[in-house]
Structure 1
Amino acid sequence: MSEATPELAFGELTEVVAFLMEIDKLKSIQRRTKVLGTQRQENTAEHSWHFAVGVMALAPYAGDKVDINRVVQMALVHDIVEIDAGDVLVYDLAGRAAVHAREEAAAERLFGLLPEPQRGHFHQLWLEYEAGETPNAQFALMLDRLMPVLMNLHNRGQSWVENGIRLEQVLSRNAFIGDVYPALWEHLKRHLDAAHQDGWLK
């Protein structure tokens, strides 16, 4: 917990309560994308909620090998590490590489606030998501890449324009979507070409 927050005892739930209060900080981590129709940047907690609902909405397209309940859990915990590590733009490849060690340390600290078995369960969800090897993690990663693209396509390319993002960057960084959901990627590419023509992407 924050040093300014008194330690409160809740019996066997004390560690769980401490974790829940610590992750409230995720609401203060700002992302590059703005909430549609506003000038306010979304925070990472809002993104995680949007991502989780997206998983539920696209569940019929996930395939038999995907456990939607587990993917929803991944969506809700995948960015908790940003409390310590901060948010790095997906197109900042050097920044993404540099932040990895901080994210691992953050996962150890934050999930370590929980007792077992929650500690191990949360940490394993994060590790599975980061590895991106299981059908669950691949579906989760696809949705995590998809949501900011959809937001930009419905917000006149707001974060693309503000960060000088090029069409080839978006195509290259998000091509993974096509591996998981080829038909959706074909639609997205047409919209991305249109965004480029409209000047939303360099």
Structure 2
Amino acid sequence: MLSSETKDEIFDLIGQTVTPRLSDQLRFVLEIDKLKTIIRQTPLLDISRRENDAEHSWHLAMMAMMLAEYAAPDVRLERVLRMVLIHDIVEIDAGDTFLYDATAEAGQEEREQKAADRLFGLLPKEQAVEFRSLWDEFEAHQSPDARFARTMDRMQPFLHNVFTGGHSWKHHGVTADQVQKRMAVIADGSTLLHGLVTRLIEESVARGFLLPSSSD
């Protein structure tokens, strides 16, 4: 692996060869390679290993293209794709937070805001503003585009749990009511997909993939 000094020397060479804009864009492109090293709790369907953030983001983009017909009519797919591709970039600095780990959520927003400042700040000014705006919109999940993007983000690991027999659910002792609570936002992006998720939660409990609700 190259030393930081060698990398800086190469970036200096790039800066002398191309415009500052292109130099900044290339620095960002190389920095987000680190997303491939951020490991999530979600297993691959063959349970050979856990997926990384880059794989997760790619999968969401593919899902959004396939399932866009189940979104609200005013959802703009191109914006959804951009959101799902950038939504986890902040985890390069902030790390991945498991959806069902309440303790890990403490300080998550602060960590991610700080990460967004640094990472999107690597870009030329107008692209930095654009990317940060899309990320902020996704996090707020108030617009139709953001709601559908969030639907994809919640549904992908859910499907992986169903089709691995509740692999990470079992490992972390997750209960049906916890999953129902976390999957509720899917209804904001697609009532049809939320109905499917609700049915699959019931089936997962029946098959022993998921613990019954703590109140049962």
TM-score range, shorter chain: over 0.9
> TM (normalized to structure 1)?
0.94
Offset at 1:46?
A: 0.2
Q: Is the 8 A contact 2:97 2:105 kept in 1?
A: yes
Matches within 5 A, 1:119-134: 119-134=128-143
Match of 2:78 in 1: 69
Deviations 1:24-59 (A, max 9, x none): 000000000111113211000000000011111111
Match of 1:165 in 2: 174
Question: Secondary structure of 1:32's partner?
Answer: strand
Out of 103, 107, 118, the position equivalent to 1:98 is 107
Match of 1:99, as an amino acid? Q
Match of 2:41, as an amino acid? R
Match of 1:111 in 2: 120
Q: Is the 8 A contact 2:72 2:190 kept in 1?
A: no
User: Once structures 1 and 2 are overlaid, which stretch shifts more, 10-19 or 130-139?
Assistant: 10-19
Match of 1:42 in 2: 51
Q: Deviating runs (4+, > 3 A) in structure 1?
A: 2-5
Match of 2:157 in 1: 148
Question: Secondary structure of 2:41's partner?
Answer: strand
> TM (normalized to structure 2)?
0.88
Give, in whole Å, the separation in 2 of the partners of 1:58 and 1:52.
Answer: 10
Match of 2:4 in 1: 3
Count of matched residue pairs? 201
The reply to whether residue 21 of structure 1 matches residue 30 of structure 2 is: yes
Question: Secondary structure of 1:58's partner?
Answer: helix
Deviations 1:131-154 (A, max 9, x none): 111111111111111111111111
Question: Secondary structure of 1:91's partner?
Answer: coil
Question: Secondary structure of 2:96's partner?
Answer: coil
Give, in whole Å, the separation in 1 of the partners of 2:158 and 2:6.
Answer: 38
Match of 2:96 in 1: 87
Give, in whole Å, the separation in 2 of the partners of 1:4 and 1:140.
Answer: 39
Out of 63, 87, 105, the position equivalent to 1:54 is 63
Offset at 1:180?
A: 2.7
Runs (5+) with no aligned partner, structure 2: 212-216
User: Once structures 1 and 2 are overlaid, which stretch shifts more, 94-103 or 122-131?
Assistant: 94-103
Out of 182, 191, 197, the position equivalent to 2:191 is 182
CA RMSD of aligned residues (A): 1.5
